[in-house]
Amino acid sequence: MAQTALQEARDAVDQATTRAQVVVRPVTETDELVAMEALLAAVWEHPPGSVELDITLLAALARSGNYVAGAFRADELVGATAGFRCEPFPVTLHSHVTGVDRQRAATGTGTALKAYQRLWCLERGITGVRWTFDALQSRNARLNMGHLGADWVSFHVDYYGELRDGLNRGTGSDRLLLQWDLTRTAADRADKTQQPEPAQTLLARGPAGEPVLGTRPTTYSRLEIPTDIDGLRASDPELAQRWRDTLREVLPGLIADGWRVVDFDEDGAYVIAPPHEQEPR
């Protein structure tokens, strides 16, 4: 099984990097780490004097056996990712940050970075990756849960406290924590127990883009989120905050009662499973 997953990971890197026209590789040289610091600061729209990940920490991670990699297009850095080993040791990586310069990078660069992350980990005996992401980011939810097949672990209100970057300042830092089983192959994902089609929609996008709550679910249900929360924050910050507040109102109570987030569908909604149902993955 491990060898099958490893070969699948190698093939996935070849396919993803070819599609995105990038080379993904470890970054250890100072000039490239400086470029990585600048790229991450720009992606998260940090004000002058603030960075997403400091060059000294990037260098320390890169030179101490942790994970620091870049996506290069014609020798130009267009994507970056960094992480560190975490509990349960020694088989887990915490993927702390992944950013793509969407002005210069081709579609699929983020997928190529995740594909390479899987290969890098499996070659070192790491079989699981954990990371957090903003529960309102539909693009990330679709990649993380729908495409990669990462599993939901937990939901946290203000996981990082108040953030200072331009994308998240004043919006709260609620996060879903995910776990990606790197040994699970495409065949495993295809053979997993299939959950029923959701019969209810607990949270829907209203006609003006507003969150509309339905009745408490009794079976598999959907929680829709905005298709572009970053654009909504720019055009209507009050409405964006309503979405944040609504998820805060709904998710913790459901999770406390044993409901689980099991998927993110192609129509832009989380799928939640009722308590005591068999795990679908």
Query: What's the pLDDT band for 281 if we cut at 50, 70, 90?
Result: very low
pLDDT band at 182 (very low <50, low <70, confident <90, very high): very high
pLDDT (tens digit per residue) in 31-53: 999 999 999 999 999 999 999 99
Domains of the chain: 2-189 (3.40.630.30), 200-273 (no CATH)
pLDDT in tens, 138-155: 999 999 998 999 999 999
Between these two residues, 1 and 77, which has the higher pLDDT value?
77
Is the pLDDT reported for residue 3 higher than 90? no
Q: What is the mean pLDDT of residues 234-252?
A: 96
Per-residue pLDDT, 194 = 67
Rounded mean pLDDT of the chain? 94
DSSP the chain: -HHHHHHHHHHHHHHHHHHHT-EEEE--SHHHHHHHHHHHHHHTTPPTT--SS-HHHHHHHHTTT-EEEEEEETTEEEEEEEEEEESSTTSEEEEEEEEE-TTTSPTTHHHHHHHHHHHHHHTTT--EEEEEE-TT-HHHHIIIIIIS-PEEEEEETTTT-S--STTTTTS---EEEEEEETT--HHHHHHSPPPPPP-EEEEEE-TTS-EEE-PPPSSSEEEE--S-HHHHHHH-HHHHHHHHHHHHHHHHHHHHTT-EEEEE-TTSEEEEE-TTPPP--
Say whether pLDDT at 276 is over 80: no
